[in-house]
Structure formats: C-alpha cells, structure tokens
Structure 1
Amino acid sequence: MSTKLETATQFHADHRHWQSDIACWNDDIESWRSEHSHAIVQLQAALRQINEHGQCVNDHADSIASLESGLEHHEKSLAADLQNESTAGLDKTQCEHHQREADLHARQRAAHERMKKHHHQAMAKVAMVASALEEAC
C-alpha cells in the first residue's frame, strides 16, 4: 500500500510541476503576443519607409533625367555658339553656364552615391528580416 501512496504522491507532484510549466508557457505566449503586435506596428512603419524610399528613387531618377536634358541643351548651345563665332573662343556667359552645369553634376554625383549606399543598406536589411522570418516558422 505504501507503494500506491508514493506513486499517487509522485503523480500529484508531477501534476503540480506540469501546472507550473503551463503557467510559464502561458506567460511566454502572452509576452510573445505583445511582442508580435509591436512587431506588426514596426513592420508597418518600415513598409511606409520602404515606400518613401521608392519615391526617393523615382525622384532621383527624375533629377538625373533633368540633368541629362540640361546637358544635351548645354551641349547644343555650346556647339551653336562655336559655329556662330568667328573665333573658337568661349564667351563669359557660356563659361558661367558651364560652371553651373559642372556644379550641378557634382552635387548629383554626391546625391547618387548617398542614394546608392542607403539603397544597398536598406535592401540588405529587408532581405535579412525576410530571411529570418522565413526560417522562424
């Protein structure tokens, strides 16, 4: 009979231990649900930022197209001025315009390098998040 009591006692101890495990697991689940909700908010904010980045890429493309158009116009203007002049010299206005174009081109180059760096960093981070989430389930 004492074996029965020890077994029943052990069963009750096991049940208490299991109940403790279940309580801890439920605490974990409650915490995970809260973290999940927060992650959804963070991902929605990140999606807005990715969409804003896409608009920046489009704006940058427009700036480059405008720069290209301006360069074509400047080149045609320069060629016409050189054809119309008896000497091959450039006038002050043409030189000033060329300097403005050079400055604009330098600013565009710097902007492009910043955009490229930011884009590569952002896309690498998105890929890391996507990869981590694929592996998680």
Structure 2
Amino acid sequence: MIEGVLSAYSIGDYVTANCTSGKSNPPAVLDWKINGVKAERWVWEYNKGADETDSQGLHTKTVGLRFQIQNEHFAMNVGGLPPRVEIRCTSTVGSATRYKDVFPTLARALTSNKLAQERFRNSAAGLFVTSSLKFIFVLIASIHTVYSS
C-alpha cells in the first residue's frame, strides 16, 4: 500500500510517501521505482519502529520515499493524458512479487512551447533580452518625447 502521495505536484514540490507491505513470513523486501527506474537509496526514508511483527510471527514492513519533483519526472505522457510521474512500490516475499502504482500529474500542465518560454524567461539570456527590450523601449520613448516637444 502506498500512502501520502498527492494527486498533483508542481515543479520543486517534494513527494513524501510510505509503502507498507502486507503481513508475511519471511518479511517482505520493499523497493521503490520512479518512472520505471529504481530509486536511489538516498531518497529512501527508513522509519525506525515502522517494521512490526505480530503475535503470530507475521511481519509488516514500511519504507518511505522523499524526492523533489523536477521537469524530467513528467516526461511520461500517455495517450493525450496530462504529464504524470509513475511511482511504484514493489513488495517481494520469496518468489511472489506484488506492486502498487500511483500516477500524480503536473499541477499546472504546460505545453512544450509554454515550458520553453518559461525556461527562457528564467534563464540569464531571458533576463538579458527582457532588460535590453525595456531599455530600448525607454530610449525610444525618450527620443520621441524630445522630438515631439
């Protein structure tokens, strides 16, 4: 079971999730994947005390995941659906494997053109061009004022 994942995220948001296995003996081995790629161990969160054993000797295991959403996470776009990221938790006990997927979407879906414009505006070149255009506009307005008088 995956808990804590929102339905939509913006670039820069943090995804914080927990994956909890069902009861088993031996204990389950849990694994995270983001867009089909095994999550690096540094984004895993281990919660002390989250692994439990009941009176019948059955184990429940919980592993957390925390990572910051980047543009690259929303590369998946299937059949005209909004951009989304696939987060999968896999639970393996012996030779039996079960998994659960969640698919949060981009909170404000941008077209490729709009995304390129946003990246340009936030880049140094975008700031330079914007500043240069403002300067030229002020210069033209000043010249127009001088010659109109």
TM-score, normalised on structure 1?
A: 0.30
Structure (1 or 2) with the larger CA radius of gyration: 1
TM-score normalised by L of structure 2? 0.28
Relative to its length, the structure with more strand (as a share) is 2
Which structure carries more helix by proportion?
1
